[in-house]
Structure 1
Amino acid sequence: MATETGPGPRVDAPTDDVPGVALVVAFVALQVVAFVAAYTTGRPTWYAYFIVGSTAVTAYFLDGTSFTVATATLGSVLVVALGLPLFMFVARQTPSLVVEKALDPDVHRVLYLGVYGPLLAALLSLAFGIPLAHLLAEGFSGQPLVESLVDLPLVVPHSVAGILILFGFGKGGAFPNVSVLGSMIGMVLAMAFVAAPYAVNATREAFEAIDNRLEYASRIHGANRWETFRRVTGPLAARGMITGGVLAWARAVSEFGAVAVVAYSVKFFYPFAGEKVTAQHAPVFVYNTYLQGGLEESGAVAFLLLAVSALIFLIVRYLTDDDAGGGMP
């Protein structure tokens, strides 16, 4: 039954999601038809106007309040800025060129390195970021300084991040016997430098969201801090850890500047060839392809990288989403 909590009635949320899903499907289908029509007639600007207008009309019929219509309309402007370039990018691909690049062994190595290298960086960020995130969640003296250091890579220009890695770990740095310049180690370090804040901050938020009384109850029942973390704190924060790892991986996948400075080309073991090969990180390879082959060839490689990254991202989100039926216990 609907209840009233103020000047206007409050309508209870529907218990059946089927109408909502049908509405979303219909809205998306309408957007696809509108985009195809605008693109084939050479008027993509019309589609930008259509997104804003259709969003405003939909918000009016669903809610009817001026506030919702205004927020939905203004928000749709950002959706245009984010979505329209992606739609145009996909629509302007040449299928034969995409297939040609998909069959290119050089592109295979680049795609493998573009997934494998960021994965190592994400795991490295989590391995040392989870303990740090736990400390930050609990609080300690000098915490603002540590927080500033953790968040510093978020504001450092990407090329400067690469320079910092070379100064810190390259020749004359902290580990003179470790080869950083042009090596897989250097590439992973560069990626971890820019990706670690995402892993730490997401994990920290997960720790901070845990009720302290649960840890207290565990300690009262005789568990030490290691057992409490393994049985209580860790499992409860697992989703935040995975989110942080996915964000760190995604950030490392997209890194260009730091990797270009530290490890423009790297040699690594390629399991599909059974030997060491030399390749470039995917964003670097896409940039070189753009310089040498133009927008169309680089776009085909970028399309493949985007497809692989999006597929992995969606699989991880599905496996960790309770609503999708594949969530964590």
Structure 2
Amino acid sequence: MRTPDLDARTLVLGVAGVHVTVFALAGSLGHPTLYVVFAVASAGFLGLLAGRGAFGVAAALCGGTLLVALAYPLATLVTFTTPTAVLDALARPDVRRTLYVSVYGPLLATLLAGVLGVPLALLLRRGFAGQAAIEALVDLPLVVPHSVAGLAVLLAFGQNGAFPTLPVLGATPGLVLALAFVGAPYLVNGAREGFEAVDRDAERAARSLGASRFETFRRVTGPLAVRGVLSGAVLCWGRAVSEYGAVAVVAYNVAVFYPPAGERVQAMFGSVFVVHELDVNFQSAVAVAVLLLVVCVAVFLAVRALTRETGRWT
């Protein structure tokens, strides 16, 4: 029997349909405030229907206000432009190059952060002397201003830096290093939470049956922690996609191999391209922003779906 799930799904779809209708109506009347008020009030009403008392209603109102603050700007962005304008933007070669760099660069940064960060997350889960200092160092990029992070990466790894022969300024390696710098904390912390959720008794049981440390990790720890690792990777990729400050310093224009052209081309990272486009044509900038949003959300949802399925397999 799946009736409760079906009823819940029907309720969600019904509420979403009402919100879309009211949003469109408020926009057509030129009074978007009406929708904001409706959205917050409807959250409180749903909290009241849940029957959890005054505290439940207050919590629903607070949560509804936050959700409106998160969703309403994106809905406004998407409805500001037209499908024709978005398709026109997609037809531009420079926009297609931007989309490629905006997905390709963060994926490389996530791979780099994963190869280097997952073993560190495992060590942090097991504990060692000086762990508090290492944890603070891992989280430090979260509080460093983004332009400062870009400048730090440029000075550390650019010309006369640790790897003098590595192209950093305006190059793909510099872009990847900058994105990995800002995104790595999310991957390390997500992976560590995944490892910490693994039952140590299961690991001890595997060792007692003669499994080596590597076999225990491969057959027990790794599969049980993979969902946390993938969740951290999703957050790392999402953080990298949204980066602007560090990229603007290190790779405002980046030279990257572009498969459709079969050669290296100059391209801008997505967030940098949108800001640059604002100085040229506001309508075009919005269309490009919507296109980037659609691509990033599609990749994000696909990876999240993979994460859920992996959680079921494990």
Shorter-chain TM-score bucket reads over 0.9
AA aligned to 1:303 is: V
Q: Which has the higher helix share?
A: 2
Q: Does 1:287 align with 2:267?
A: no
2:188 aligned with 1:200: yes
Q: In the TM superposition, what whole-angstrom CA distance separates every residue of 1:143-167 from its partner, at most 9, and x where no partner exists?
A: 1111111000000000000011012
Work out which of the residue numbers 179, 194, 201 in structure 2 matches 1:191: 179
Asked if the contact 1:162/1:190 (under 8 Å) is kept, the reply is yes
Amino acid at match of 2:32: P
Distance 1:201 1:125 in 2: 11
- Say if 2:110 and 2:237, in contact at 8 Å, map to a contact too: yes
**Deviation sequence 1:28-73 (CA, Å, 0-9, x none):** 1111111111010000001000011111112212325111111001
Which of 60, 79, 93 is residue 91 of structure 1 equivalent to?
79
1:319 to 303, 306, 310: 306
Deviation at 1:290, TM superposition (A): 0.7
Q: Which amino acid aligns with 1:153?
A: P
Match of 1:62 in 2: 50
CA distance in 1, matches of 2:173, 2:299: 23
Give the letter for the 1:307 counterpart: V
Q: Secondary structure at the match of 2:255?
A: strand
- Given residue 301 of structure 1, which amino acid in structure 2 is its aligned partner? V
In structure 2, the partner of 1:133 is 121
Aligned to 2:297: 310
Where does 1:1-329 land on structure 2 (aligned, <5 Å)?
16-294=4-282, 296-322=283-309, 327-329=312-314
Q: Is the 8 A contact 1:319 1:328 kept in 2?
A: no
CA distance change for structure 1 residues 63 and 87 in 2, over 3 Å: closer, same or farther? same
Unpaired segments ≥5 residues, structure 2: none
Unaligned runs of 5+ in 1: 1-13
C-alpha distance in 2 between matches for 1:249 and 1:145: 25
In 1, the alpha carbon distance for the partners of 2:187 and 2:146 equals 18
Q: Is the 8 A contact 2:117 2:187 kept in 1?
A: yes
Q: Percent identity?
A: 51
Equivalent residue of 1:269, what SS? strand
TM-score (norm 1): 0.92
Cα distance, 1:26 vs. partner? 0.8
Aligned to 1:11: none
- The Cα of 1:179 is off from its aligned counterpart by 1.8
Q: Distance in 1 between matches of 2:96 and 2:201?
A: 50
Counterpart Cα distance in 1 of 2:311 and 2:122:
27
Q: Give the distance between the partners of 2:114 and 2:88, measured in 1 at CA.
A: 37
TM superposition outliers: structure 1 runs of 4+ over 2 Å = 325-329
Aligned counterpart, 1:5: none
RMSD over aligned Cα, in angstroms? 1.5
1:284 aligned counterpart, secondary structure: helix
* Cα deviation, residue 223, structure 1: 1.2
